[in-house]
Amino acid sequence: MRSQGSFGTKPNSVAVVLACVVYVAAGVAAAGQMERFVRVSPRDCRYFELDDGTPFIPNGLNMIAPYGSEREALALMETWIEKLSANGGNYIRLWLSNGFFDVEHEKSGQYDAEKARRIDAVLEMARSRGVRVKMTIEHFRTIGGGRQSWADKPLHHVSQGGPAESMDDFFAGEKSRAQFKRKLDFYRDRYGHDPAIFSWELWNEIDAASGKGYEQWTVEMLAELKNRFPKNLVVQSLGSFDNDSKRDRYRRFSLMAGNDYAQVHRYLDLGARLEVCKGPVDVLAADAVRELLSYGCGKPVILAESGAVEPGHSGPFKLYAADTAGIILHDVLFAPFFAGSAGTGQIWHWDHYVAKNDLWRHFGGFAAAVKGIDPPTEDFQPVVLEQSSLRVYGLRGRTVFIAWLRDKANTWQSELAGRQAASVIADGTLDLGAVETLADARAAAVYDPWSDKSVGAPIIRGKISLPPFSRSVVVRVYR
């Protein structure tokens, strides 16, 4: 567990005793918060909060499923969730259709209560640690003959006793639709009114399915989901935003009335058609968020899948092995929120990258950076500043200006591919002159998420002198 003293001071021996009391009280408070549902904030529709008005900033990752025997897999899942929670994380995403959790694995329309106990166990692990779960219901793309075995589910084909003759028929056919609604009934009867569930997601990247008619199907099924889970958020997802043809599709789904929030998938992918997907990770992540915000959908926006892949999503990024510092994860977490997202970006490679390189501390760095921030109260307005060697991603609020400063010279190309150590910026400054309403500010605090240290910083003639840092720092300026 990382220290929780960021933007503060180290405790003395007396403070340690008091901190233990506070920690126990915080644990009780956290348990109470898990009885509250997450909702879109009525104070600011771009952000989330709990139904008692407590701000909620999702800080987590995709944790689709574990592997090994049932005992080994559940133990592994518990280890991951524990490490995430101990470092300030509060969110994971599961695929209920993964083989480990899939209740519909023997026959179409038949649901296995024994398999569901695995879902129960993970929900309880998460609940007891203050972590909320996005429940993704389906991910298959074909119902027989598909080239991707992990995305093929032939039991739904009529030849296997299923209701559909094709994926087109699965989306359009009345038998398939009625059967899918019965599956929703199964989940409702087992998990309805559970505040540990962040949201229900119909499908992973439904536009990657081989059938037509998925948009009309989505409209109908989002409404069915909401009818069954009125206190939970409901959502749909699309494939990686890596080419211009995705733009209209993302706009339609982001604006779709039944979609409670807008989400986007985007990766560092040297095989992508969009050039932005090949450059610095902070840039591609922030760009994806700004794209969805530009649609004016009046909803929270989340970068729900990100990370780095080999060209054309042919495998995990080979340079992950070199990223023991976690610069890709760091950029995926920080850039979206400071570009206007409702939370962190959510990395995909939880096992191959995050757990393997033991990068859990980065979730703690983000939690510390935004500690005490209430986005719906602040009415944040994203601000982009280009200052000498830094890209500045700022949020201008009613009472605070908070910014993430990223060294332009440090990227995956330089540090991972080029093996160039991150340089120290010894004389950096942040010029506040371009930020409206900060003319009267006199002091600031600077937090270094890489060292988990914070210092005060005076403002002299509208400029902040930054302490020496590498890669990035977070600055708060109070009005």
- In this structure, the answer to whether residues 360 and 407 fall within a common structural domain is no
- In this structure, the answer to whether residues 429 and 289 fall within a common structural domain is no
CA 316-342-101 angle, to 5 degrees, is 50
Lowest-confidence pick of 87-91, 332-336, 433-437: 433-437
In a domain, 14, yes or no: no
Q: Is the pLDDT of residue 24 over 60?
A: no
- In this structure, the answer to whether residues 49 and 154 fall within a common structural domain is yes
So what's the pLDDT on residue 479?
75
- In this structure, the answer to whether residues 408 and 260 fall within a common structural domain is no
User: Residues 6 or more apart from 237 whose CB is under 8 A from it?
Assistant: 136, 201, 202, 203, 204, 205, 206, 263, 265, 304, 305
Range of the domain at 193: 34-374
Question: What is the CATH number for 168?
Answer: 3.20.20.80
Q: Is the pLDDT of residue 10 over 50?
A: no
Pairing of strands 301-305, 262-265: parallel
Percent over 70 (pLDDT), the chain: 94
Band of residue 438 on the pLDDT scale cut at 50, 70, 90: confident
Q: Which value, to the nearest 10 degrees, does the dihedral of the CA atoms of residues 123, 127, 128, 130 take? A: 140
In a domain, 24, yes or no: no
Rounded-to-integer distance, Cα 313 and Cα 114, Å: 34
Instruction: Among 324, 353, 374, give the residue marking a domain's end.
Output: 374
- In this structure, the answer to whether residues 176 and 318 fall within a common structural domain is yes
Question: What is the CATH number for 460?
Answer: 2.60.40.1180
- In this structure, the answer to whether residues 369 and 399 fall within a common structural domain is no
Instruction: Among 353, 374, 395, give the residue marking a domain's end.
Output: 374
In a domain, 27, yes or no: no
Lowest-confidence pick of 225-234, 235-244, 387-396: 387-396
Q: Are 46 and 342 in contact (CB under 8 A)?
A: yes
In a domain, 204, yes or no: yes
- In this structure, the answer to whether residues 311 and 442 fall within a common structural domain is no
- In this structure, the answer to whether residues 331 and 394 fall within a common structural domain is no
So what's the pLDDT on residue 30?
62
- In this structure, the answer to whether residues 363 and 257 fall within a common structural domain is yes
Q: Is the pLDDT of residue 458 over 70?
A: yes
Nearest one of 125, 119, 39 to 89, comparing CA atoms: 125
Torsion-angle region of 312 (φ positive above 0: left; ψ -120 to 50: alpha; else: beta): left
Band of residue 436 on the pLDDT scale cut at 50, 70, 90: confident
- In this structure, the answer to whether residues 304 and 288 fall within a common structural domain is yes
Does the model's pTM come out above 0.85? yes
In a domain, 457, yes or no: yes
So what's the pLDDT on residue 196?
98
In a domain, 10, yes or no: no
Instruction: Among 342, 374, 406, give the residue marking a domain's end.
Output: 374
Rounded-to-integer distance, Cα 167 and Cα 156, Å: 9
Q: For the chain, give me the number of helices (H) and strands (E)?
A: 12, 20
- In this structure, the answer to whether residues 356 and 408 fall within a common structural domain is no
In a domain, 4, yes or no: no
Rounded-to-integer distance, Cα 92 and Cα 136, Å: 11
DSSP code, position 36: S
So what's the pLDDT on residue 442?
76
- In this structure, the answer to whether residues 398 and 357 fall within a common structural domain is no
In a domain, 152, yes or no: yes
User: What is the Rg, in whole angstroms, of the alpha carbon atoms belonging to the chain?
Assistant: 23
Number of domains in the chain: 2
Q: Are 371 and 336 in contact (CB under 8 A)?
A: no
94-144 residue pLDDT tens: 999 999 999 999 999 999 999 999 999 999 999 999 999 999 999 999 999
Nearest one of 149, 44, 130, 128 to 87, comparing CA atoms: 130
